[in-house]
Structure 1
C-alpha cells in the first residue's frame, strides 16, 4: 500500500504526507451499489466496485456513515458507533472492505459524527429517563423557560424549534438539526473519553482517517447562543489530537460550514496540532439567495466565486492545507449548478474538474461526478426523500411560497440531487439495483452511466483519471503557490501554479459562448499541454480564446 506511506520528500514549506498527492472519492453508501436487490446500497456493493475506483486512480474513499442508525437523516443519526447498519451489511463486511481497499492502495476514511447522536442511541435512551444518570450530562439540557416553554426561540437547521421537551426529566434537550439528533455535551469529560476510545477502536481496525461531520459545532455555548466556532472549539480539537490522532499516519478533514479565511488556519495551521484540512463552504454559500437561502433559485456569479476560491489559496500559500470540492452528498450536482448539463455536459464536466483539481489542496470527487451525473429535476415533492427538503417545503408553503417555486429551488439545490442512485449502466435504475431503489434513479441513467462513458471517445472518466495522475507526477500541482488571473472576468477562471522555475497555466470558460480575454504578456508562451477538454494546445497568446466550456492546463517552458 505504497501510496499510504509517508514520503520523505518535501516541498519548500511542507513535509510531504501521503494524502498530498492523493485524490479522495466520496461514497454515499445508500446510493452507490446494491448487492442484494433490496433497493439500498451496501458495503458488499462497494467492494464489488473497487475496480472502478482503482482504475480511476484514487488514493482513499471518504465513506459516508455506515454505522447502526434509524436513518432519519440517512445515517447521520447514529445509534451505535461500533456497529454497522443492517441495510449496509455487517462489521465483518466492513473489515472486508478495509482490507480489500488496502490491497488496491486505497484507504478508507470514515465519517465521524460526534456533534450529535441518534435519539435511539443507548446513551440518550438512558439520559432521558433520569437527571441522576451519568449519561444525562452527555447531552445538552435546560429547564423550561419562564412560560414553561423552550429555553429560547432558537430554530433547528432542519426546521422547527431547536429544543424538545422530555416529560420524564421535565427538561428540554438541544438539537441543532432534528429532534432525532440530540447534540452531545462536549463539556463532559466522560463523554469525550468515550468518543476518543471509539475513534481509536476504528483506527486500530485499519481505517485511514476521519472526515469530521460539522466539527465546528462541538464547542458551542447554547446559553450565549454561540453555535458555530464556539469558545471551546479549538481546545477540544487539540485535546482530540493529543488523545487519538497524534503519532498516526492518517488523514483528518473537518466539515466546517462556518470557517472563513480569518479562522481557517486555526484548524490546520502548521503548529496547531488539530486536523489536516477543512471542508469550508464560503464558495458554496456565496451562491445562495441572500434572503431566501439555498431553496431559492439564484444565479451563479463566477467573479464572486473566484475571489473566495483564490482567497483560500492565498491563505494556504505557506502553511495549512485545503480540501478541493464542488460536490458532495449535501450539494447539487456540480455540472448542473456551475455549468451546462445539456448540450455541453461533457465539456462542462471536464472544465470544472480541470480548474478545481489543479489548485493547491486535496481534491475530492463525489460519486458519479467522474461521469458527469446531473441533477434529478424532480417534478413533485413526493419524489424527494431528504429531511431538510421536506421540512422546509412544509414551512415555506405554510408561509405562502407557491409549491412550484419551492420545487424550482429544490431542483437546483436540494441534497437529493446528489443522492439519486449511481448510474453504472443502461439497465433499469442505472444498474444500481435489481429491486426498487429507495429514491428514484435519474431519468437520464440510460444514457449517462459508467458503461456508456467508458466507451465514449471523449470520456469524462478518462479526463478525471488524467488529472489524478498529473497530481501524482508534478510537484508544481502539489506544492506550487497559486497566482490568480483575470479576476474580474465574468466567464473565465484562470490561474498559474508556480514552484521554483516551473509554471503551470490553467484556464476554463464557464460560458456557453466562445470567450476571449487579454492575458498579461508574461503569462503567454509555449509549453507542454498536460490536459485539454478539446483539441490539444501547446501555446497561449496574449489574446486568450476559449471555446464554450473549454479548459486546459499547460506546463509552460
Structure 2
C-alpha cells in the first residue's frame, strides 16, 4: 500500500464523462474512447484532476452500459482495450487520474454467468444470482418494486422461479452472499487496477445485498402520485443491508493496495450514508457520494442547515464530498436557473471536500428538450410523463456552434438551445460560465485553504449564505446571494479575489452574485 501525507483525491476535482455523449471520433453518432482522448485538453484547461467515465464495458445497452456483459472488456461502440490503454496513458501523461464506473449489483441477462445460472436449477452458477420460488398464488415472491417501476422480480418459465432485478428485467441482481461472486467481481476490479486505473465509482452500492428472508417492504406513508412507482414502498429490505459493509471493506482493502480510491453511489439519509465510510478497522469507500446539493431546496437557510448537518455527521477521518448533478438527475441550471447556476458553481468549488462536476455543467447547460420520437431512456419509456427520464441530461456536449460532437447523426439530438453555449464560444468569453469554472478551479488549486482547509462559521442571513475557509494561515470568506435582489452584507475587512459577476465590493451582493473574500 502506497502512503502519502495527503491522499491525492482529497485535493482533487473529479469530472464525470458520459462517454456516449462526450466526443465521437468515428462518425457513428456515439461518443468513444478516442473521442475522449482527443478532448482531454478541455479537461486540462478546465483545471480538473480526474475523470470518471460512465460504463464502457461490453453491453447490450438495455440501460446504456449499466447492464454489463463482460466486466473485463471494452464495448466495441467505444473502442478496444488498446484504445483504453492509450487514453489512460495520455491522461496520466497530462496529470489526469482515471476512474471507471463499476456496476456490481447486477449484470446483463446476456452475461455468460447469467446464461449459465438460468439454464437449470442445478447449474453451478445458479446461486450466482438471486432466485426465489413464486408466492403461493404464483406471483412474485414479495412486494419489492423495481426502480424503473413494476415488480422487482422476473419469472423464468423454464426453471419455474423468479430472479431479482432492482432495475430492468435485462439486469438480474448478482448474489453477493455467494463467495464465488465476490471473488469474481474483486478479480474484475483487480484487472483494471493492474491496467493502471486510479479508482472506481461504484454503482448503486447500497442495493448490493438483499434481506436474506425476502420480507415485504413496508408501504411509504408519504407516497403520492407522480413520484414514480418505486416510491410506493420503503426499500428497507431490498437495500442497505448490514452485510454490504463487509463487501465495501473488501473493495477498499483492494483499492488501498493500489493507492486507488472508491466513490460509492448511495442515496440514503445522512446518518445512514455515514455508515459507508466504515469503522476504522474495516473502512468502506473513501467517498460515499453526498447528494445534499442535488436534493436541497435552493435557499440559504436550507443549504446552511444541510452543510452543518453533513459536516457534523462525518466520522473521524471521513473526508467530505459534494456534487451538483450527474447523468441521472436534472441539471443545476434547470433546477435553479442560469444565474444561480453560477452561484452554485462557486458553492461547489469552495465547500470543504472533493467536488465532482458533471459534463456540461461547466457550460451552464440546462436540461435538453428531447422530441418524443427521439426518447431513448428505458425509465422514461416505462413510466412516461412523470419527468423521470434521463435523456435531457445525457445529450451530446456542444463543442462548436455547429455541434462538433460527431460528423454523423448523434444518438440523441443536440438541443438547439445548447449550441450558443458551446465550448469554443465560451472559451474566448471572459464572462462565460466556462471561464468562471476555470477561474474557480485555478483558485482552488492554488489555495490550500480552499482545497483542503477547514470550514466554519456557516451562516444564513436572509438570502445570503456565508462560510469561512482556512488553512490556519490564510482565511477566505465565501458569500453567496441565493436571491434575486441586492443584499447588504457585513464582512470582515479583506480583498475580493473572485466574483461570479465583474468587479465586486464587500459591502453588498448584487442579485445572484457570489464572491470570495481574502480576509485581512
TM-score (norm 2): 0.91
- 1:256-286 deviation per Cα after TM superposition (whole angstroms, max 9, x unaligned): 1125235415425655422211113344345
Which residues of 2 match residues 108-507 of structure 1 at below 5 A?
108-221=98-211, 223-224=214-215, 225=217, 226-242=237-253, 244-267=254-277, 271-286=281-296, 300=298, 303-316=301-314, 319-338=317-336, 340-341=337-338, 344=339, 348-378=340-370, 380-393=371-384, 403=385, 406=386, 410=387, 414-427=389-402, 430-487=403-460, 489=462, 491-507=463-479
- Give the equivalent residue in structure 2 for 1:22: 12
> Which residue of 12, 17, 22 maps to 1:32?
22
- Could you tell me which runs of 5 or more consecutive residues in structure 1 were left unpaired when the two chains were aligned: 9-15, 288-299, 394-402
- Give the equivalent residue in structure 1 for 2:96: 106
Kept in 2, the 8 Å contact 1:268–1:277? The answer is no
Query: 1:220/1:280 Cα in 2 relative to 1: closer, same or farther (>3 Å)?
Result: farther
Kept in 2, the 8 Å contact 1:317–1:481? The answer is no
Alpha-carbon shift at residue 7 of structure 1 (Å): 4.6
Kept in 1, the 8 Å contact 2:465–2:480? The answer is yes
Task: Please say if 1:540 is aligned against 2:506.
Answer: yes
Kept in 1, the 8 Å contact 2:293–2:323? The answer is no
Alpha-carbon shift at residue 22 of structure 1 (Å): 1.3
Query: 1:548/1:317 Cα in 2 relative to 1: closer, same or farther (>3 Å)?
Result: farther
SS at match of 2:119: coil
Task: Please say if 1:528 is aligned against 2:495.
Answer: yes
> Which residue of 512, 516, 519 maps to 2:484?
512
Cα distance in 1 for residues equivalent to 2:446 and 2:210: 42
- Could you tell me which runs of 5 or more consecutive residues in structure 2 were left unpaired when the two chains were aligned: 218-236
Cα distance in 2 for residues equivalent to 1:262 and 1:555: 36
- 1:68-87 deviation per Cα after TM superposition (whole angstroms, max 9, x unaligned): 00111110110111111111
Query: 1:414/1:302 Cα in 2 relative to 1: closer, same or farther (>3 Å)?
Result: farther
Cα distance in 2 for residues equivalent to 1:414 and 1:53: 28
Alpha-carbon shift at residue 327 of structure 1 (Å): 1.1
- 1:430-475 deviation per Cα after TM superposition (whole angstroms, max 9, x unaligned): 1111111111111123311001101112132222122222222222
Cα distance in 1 for residues equivalent to 2:315 and 2:494: 24
Task: Please say if 1:555 is aligned against 2:513.
Answer: no
Query: 1:6/1:50 Cα in 2 relative to 1: closer, same or farther (>3 Å)?
Result: farther
Query: 1:82/1:99 Cα in 2 relative to 1: closer, same or farther (>3 Å)?
Result: same
Calculate the aligned-residue CA RMSD, in Å: 2.1
Cα distance in 1 for residues equivalent to 2:276 and 2:461: 30
Alpha-carbon shift at residue 314 of structure 1 (Å): 3.0
Query: 1:104/1:525 Cα in 2 relative to 1: closer, same or farther (>3 Å)?
Result: same
Cα distance in 2 for residues equivalent to 1:317 and 1:137: 36
Alpha-carbon shift at residue 316 of structure 1 (Å): 3.5
